[in-house]
Chain A
Amino acid sequence: MRKRCRPHRRDGQAEPPMEREHRGGARRPGRLGWRGRAGALGARRRRQLFVWNPGRVAGGDLPGHSSLLRRSRGGKVRPLRVLPSLSLPRVPSREPPGICHVKFPFGAGKFPVRGLCKETMTTDEAAKGEGEVQAVALAERGEDITPARDRGVLKIIKRPGSEDESPMIGDKVYVHYKGKLANGKKFDSSRDRNEPFVFSLGKGQVIKAWDIGVATMKKGEICYLLCKPEYAYGSAGSAPKIPSNATLFFEVELLDFKGEDLFEDGGIIRRIKRKGEGYSNPNEGATVEIHLEGFCGGTRFDCKDVKFVVGEGEDHDIPIGIDKALEKMQRGEHCVLYLGPRYGFGETGKAKYGIQANAELVYEVTLKSFEKAKESWEMDTKEKLEQAAIVKQKGTMYFKEGKYLQAVIQYGKIVSWLEMEYGLSEKESKASDSFLLAAFLNLAMCYLKLREYAKAVECCDKALGLDQDNEKGLYRRGEARLLMNEFELAKCDFQRVLEVNPQNKAAKSQISVCQKKTKEHNERDRRIYANMFAKFAERDAKEAASKTRVKTAAEKPACEKGPETPGAKDEEAEGHV
């Protein structure tokens, strides 16, 4: 049932050590340590070294160069001083990326001179736009923030952050930025779009320089980044704006960041402390080995190493949120998870740990290893049927304990394995149908409990697709529809129940509930449906539904007090097989 997590490597060889985080940097030969040698002299020597070092590969980024020439001709006062230094990149194709042009990206005509002449620069500094000066300074004084220390990304802080906290891997970060090429041409700016740029940090979504650079920033900080092509778009460039081998300059402001909202409902927030390997995640049913520490209100209530099956964490007193989050983690990942009550221990709390109802939890989890569960297409029919019996039992166990989310996972497995299975023998097909019917009926019950009525109806529909006169299917659909304020449809369902089993008293009383409700809403409905705009009608009805939902929810317990209690019904469903 289990198998190794990397489906594509079928030879079963050992995993290679992972050491490719920053490939671009790592591949480059180690360079001389320039750090700390600031100042004009250092810069000049550096420049010469770059020019004469034949081992350096640098494509001719000539636009910057030629535009610089043009500009300096335009400048009246200092062309003479400029030209000697311009003779530096005499071997045009060997021009070092980054150093020479980047000195001048932001200047207009007279600008180039300043970068080359330390004395004038200090006096000009005050007069010039800050950005220009910083751009020059970057190449000279910028801090090398690359892990490889190869000066691929240089940084200067323009305005320190307001808070001391930096974003973590996987965080959603909000920045404003503008980017320029070495020739001073602006190629991009979030301010032109009038919208902050948002991305997930440290996930390779952005150029390497950014993943490195933004991770060093504090909230509110503004900094300049100077990025070598190896940390940006390299020799390939990025059509149509970034030419080959372009050094990029950015001004970045870190506006805000927040943990990753895993299900976009605010229920699970993840902040990654250490990134995992690769991109594959445990799936539902995978066996995971984790270390976890649970906190509530600042006190630690749980700390253990544990091995379990994703979706069955409850067996080890692990809340459903951890199961869900694990499906988005990678091997080796270490993260902090903030769980809302729905994903924590919910309304019941957890007496064992002294956790109250509706408590917010914080977990620190390390995913040490996992083995993926087989995907549906990897199992044969026999295996699926065997497993179906097991998970059905598990689901029912969870249901009885009131752990509906966990139960849904187990019943859901049956559906995913068997719903699309073809080519069964007659006997298998019978067994499969009966598993499916039970699964759909039980799922419907779970969804009713979870107040997800649309899903409940869907499950009933599928159950009725297998057995059109199924009493429980009809009854539960009726219940769900009633709770969705679809009184007429609900009434039909309950009437069908009575056709199948005239003795069903619960259905009888439900019918009268429906009639009462229908009457209440009749007037309103007539007005709505008279309207030719059917869509508006639907919308109005929904509004109405949400208003009355509170009411019906209050009545719900009453509905459940039928002679056939839901729990009993569920056990009956189990008896199907």
Chain B
Amino acid sequence: MPEEQSQTIMAVDELQAIVQRCQILEEADFKGEDFNLFQVAGQKCLEDGYAAQLLEVIQNEKNKVIIKNMGWNLISPLVRCIFMYKQEDDKREHCLKILDQLAELCNPKELFLSLLEQIEQTSGEQVCQTVMLLLQPLQTVLLKLQNKKAYSVGLSLAMIMNQLTPLPVPYTKQQIEEDKLGLCQCCNAVVDFAKPFVNELVKNMEKSSEYNDMELKEELLKFCMKSLKYPLLTAQLEQLEGIEEHPFRHFATEIVDILWDIKELIPLVFLRHKDRSPHWENQEFAEMEQKNSADSLACLSYLIFVQHLGIACFPVVFSPSYLLQCNMTHIEVLLKRTEESMLSKGLDLFESCLLRMEDDSLLHQYLEFRTFINVPQDLVKVMTLCPIEHLRKKSLNILQLFIDKFDAEGKYTLFRCLLKTSNHAGVEGYIIKNIKDQIHSSLTKACDNVWFTGHHLISLLDLVLMLPEGAETDLLQHSDRIMASLNLLRYLVIKDCESDNQTGVWTTLPKIERNFLKPLHVGLNMSKAHYEAEIKNKKENRKEAHSSNTVCSVTVGGEKMPAMTTEMQLQVLHSALFTFDLIESVLARVEELIEVKIKAVMDEHS
């Protein structure tokens, strides 16, 4: 024990010794050796738990010059010590005080580097803690910096955000409340950290726009863009019940406010700002930058138009079509992603833009913008391939909204496009149902609609009333589409008399019979015979099948599905037969209707 004590005292003594020696020296006369001795002694004091004594040394007025020059050396051991002690430990308190003192006393440039170094070196679970610990001194130091302040602020923010980026973003309510790694808290602390610089910029902007301020503006802008991409793009930003101050919503609000304050919000949302960022000599960097900013801008639009952040000061004179057009690029970016957080943001943004519009008000010319053709196709991908059910459902609703907003020609073009590109019988069936609805409203409403009657309609019907591969088409796979087509045809022959022939269906009937009804008959007969034979086969081989020799296995989402029993296989085969029966009955009904009508007309003539 005494030995240990003497050791510590030695550490403090050593520190005192070096300090006393330096007290008499001029600033310029400090040698590298002195720096080393000071650091070693200081570190030893800290390690041995004599933070209080160290604090005294630092606070001593006589040591001011020494601390100014050498203090930054202590940051690294100090941070280590602070994490060693428990929250309520007195020694921790001393250490924190030392940190404050150093921020006040040290040469800002040196200390700045040493603080950044600490942030750079932390990793994993300690990142948020370290950042939050050092933000305050970092801010103090930055505010004191004379030169290259804007650059240093930017460097700090970039470093911090880079360190945070690998951390997982809490998504569920529980995760947000728990905030295991402290990310929620940390993000908001970072915004607070940035605030004085924003204020400074705003103040300067009011006075004049000097080059130096442009620099600070660029840096803050970069920080905002980065924050929009991470964590905001991946974060859950809906209001959550039971959480009063949703940390990410708060963070998002602050970011939008900063953008507003530095007068970048509206340009970001509305101006395609090419060549704004400094020219990258390297093409790859430029592309990366562009891709990053596409994500960030998409997130920003989501915040403004869906979450209504910052909307209070947003111009309210833009036309809804223009808002949709501006947002289409962002929607496209988001819908191409597979993460739930981004897909749902994309769908929400799309929905909110569409809800601003009146039905039938979107001009078909907008389809000349490539995004207006691409996005519905992406939407179809979401609704057919996305594993998350509520997103699939939502995307279907949005597709309907999108269709509703177009004028007749737009709807017509969109239907053609989707029929050709969706490659999914369910979607095709859905489009065909929509075509039926449009024909219905054309026939029942007084307004003349050239797009869903007459020759335009006929060319659309050519796409609908046919089998993709003739009689060999897999009827089971295409059953949705075939049923919808038959329903449409049934509707047409009931609704439109041969004498009127408003839709033109009677003119094209021979073609329909050739391309659709006849091959469908053949296909049905073949399929039924095939499946019936298969059933018979299965039943006969039932016993043998028990000694299962599975030909292949099916995996879904990486999991191997259990092999089907013969019973299950029979069930499937039977349900297929049932579908064929259903198709056949509707087909029979349609043919009957056609026959009756034609006969009626012939009777009339004779």
Partners in one complex: yes
Q: Chain A residues in contact with chain B, CB under 8 A?
A: 6, 8-11, 13, 16, 20, 23-24, 177, 179, 187-188, 190, 192-193, 195, 197, 199, 203-208, 210, 233-242, 250, 264, 277-280, 454, 457-458, 533, 535-536
Neighbouring A residues of B416 by C-beta, 8 Å: 8-11
B15 at the interface (CB under 8 A from A): no
Given contacts A23-B361, A205-B322, A536-B151, contact A238 B366 (CB under 8 A): no
* B322: nearest chain-A partner, CB-CB: A205
Given contacts A206-B319, A454-B281, contact A280 B313 (CB under 8 A): no
Given contacts A8-B373, A233-B320, A238-B356, contact A188 B315 (CB under 8 A): yes
Neighbouring B residues of A454 by C-beta, 8 Å: 279, 281
| Bound Cα distance A234, B356 (Å) | 9
| Bound Cα distance A204, B318 (Å) | 8
B179 at the interface (CB under 8 A from A): no
Neighbouring B residues of A179 by C-beta, 8 Å: 316-317
| Bound Cα distance A190, B373 (Å) | 35
Chain B nearest CB from A466 CB (Å) reads 16
Neighbouring A residues of B606 by C-beta, 8 Å: none
Neighbouring A residues of B413 by C-beta, 8 Å: 8-9
B565 at the interface (CB under 8 A from A): no
| Bound Cα distance A207, B317 (Å) | 6
| Bound Cα distance A309, B399 (Å) | 39
Chain A nearest CB from B320 CB (Å) reads 7
Contact A536 B322 (CB under 8 A): no
Contact B357 A236 (CB under 8 A): yes
Given contacts A206-B322, A235-B358, A279-B366, contact A241 B311 (CB under 8 A): yes
B456 at the interface (CB under 8 A from A): yes
Chain B nearest CB from A200 CB (Å) reads 10
Given contacts A11-B459, A533-B148, contact A197 B315 (CB under 8 A): yes
| Bound Cα distance A20, B356 (Å) | 20
Would you give 9 A-B contacts (Cβ < 8 Å), ordered by A? Answer: A11-B459, A177-B317, A197-B315, A197-B317, A210-B317, A237-B356, A242-B316, A279-B368, A533-B148
| Bound Cα distance A210, B373 (Å) | 28
B321 at the interface (CB under 8 A from A): yes
Neighbouring B residues of A206 by C-beta, 8 Å: 317-319, 322
Quick one: which of B283, B316, B365, B373 contacts A188, CB cutoff 8 A?
B316
Contact B318 A205 (CB under 8 A): yes
* A263: nearest chain-B partner, CB-CB: B274
Neighbouring B residues of A458 by C-beta, 8 Å: 283
Quick one: which of A204, A241, A242 contacts B321, CB cutoff 8 A?
A204
Contact B373 A536 (CB under 8 A): no
Contact A190 B315 (CB under 8 A): yes
Chain B nearest CB from A181 CB (Å) reads 10
B539 at the interface (CB under 8 A from A): no
| Bound Cα distance A458, B459 (Å) | 49
Contact A236 B368 (CB under 8 A): no
Neighbouring B residues of A279 by C-beta, 8 Å: 365-366, 368-369
* B358: nearest chain-A partner, CB-CB: A234
Q: Chain B residues in contact with chain A, CB under 8 A?
A: 148, 151, 263, 274-275, 279, 281, 283, 308, 311, 313-322, 352, 355-358, 361, 363, 365-369, 373, 407, 409, 413, 416-417, 450, 455-456, 459
Neighbouring A residues of B279 by C-beta, 8 Å: 454
Chain A nearest CB from B356 CB (Å) reads 5
Contact A280 B368 (CB under 8 A): yes
| Bound Cα distance A302, B290 (Å) | 42
Contact B322 A204 (CB under 8 A): yes
7 nearest CB pairs, A to B: A278-B365, A188-B316, A279-B368, A280-B368, A205-B322, A234-B358, A11-B459
Neighbouring B residues of A264 by C-beta, 8 Å: 274-275
Given A234-B361, A264-B274, 13 more contacts at CB 8 Å?
Answer: A9-B413, A13-B455, A16-B409, A16-B450, A190-B315, A205-B319, A207-B319, A236-B356, A241-B311, A454-B281, A533-B148, A533-B151, A536-B151
Contact B317 A188 (CB under 8 A): yes
Contact B417 A8 (CB under 8 A): yes
* A252: nearest chain-B partner, CB-CB: B317
| Bound Cα distance A536, B278 (Å) | 13
Neighbouring B residues of A190 by C-beta, 8 Å: 315
Chain A nearest CB from B325 CB (Å) reads 8
Neighbouring A residues of B456 by C-beta, 8 Å: 13
Contact A236 B283 (CB under 8 A): no
Quick one: which of B316, B363, B373, B409 contacts A241, CB cutoff 8 A?
B316
Chain B nearest CB from A165 CB (Å) reads 23
Given contacts A6-B368, A9-B413, A188-B315, contact A239 B320 (CB under 8 A): no
| Bound Cα distance A457, B409 (Å) | 48
| Bound Cα distance A20, B367 (Å) | 15
| Bound Cα distance A192, B316 (Å) | 13
Chain B nearest CB from A232 CB (Å) reads 9
Contact A236 B320 (CB under 8 A): yes
| Bound Cα distance A488, B413 (Å) | 58
Given contacts A204-B321, A240-B308, contact A20 B407 (CB under 8 A): yes
Neighbouring B residues of A210 by C-beta, 8 Å: 317
| Bound Cα distance A374, B416 (Å) | 21
> Which of A6, A10, A204 gathers the greatest number of chain B CB atoms within 10 Å?
A204
Contact A195 B368 (CB under 8 A): no
| Bound Cα distance A241, B308 (Å) | 10
| Bound Cα distance A187, B355 (Å) | 20
Quick one: which of A195, A204, A238 contacts B316, CB cutoff 8 A?
A238
Chain B nearest CB from A332 CB (Å) reads 12
Neighbouring A residues of B355 by C-beta, 8 Å: 236, 239
| Bound Cα distance A233, B358 (Å) | 8
Contact A239 B352 (CB under 8 A): yes
* A277: nearest chain-B partner, CB-CB: B365
Neighbouring B residues of A10 by C-beta, 8 Å: 416
Neighbouring B residues of A188 by C-beta, 8 Å: 314-317
| Bound Cα distance A240, B311 (Å) | 8
| Bound Cα distance A535, B158 (Å) | 14
Neighbouring A residues of B358 by C-beta, 8 Å: 234-236
Contact A8 B367 (CB under 8 A): yes
| Bound Cα distance A6, B313 (Å) | 39
| Bound Cα distance A208, B321 (Å) | 11
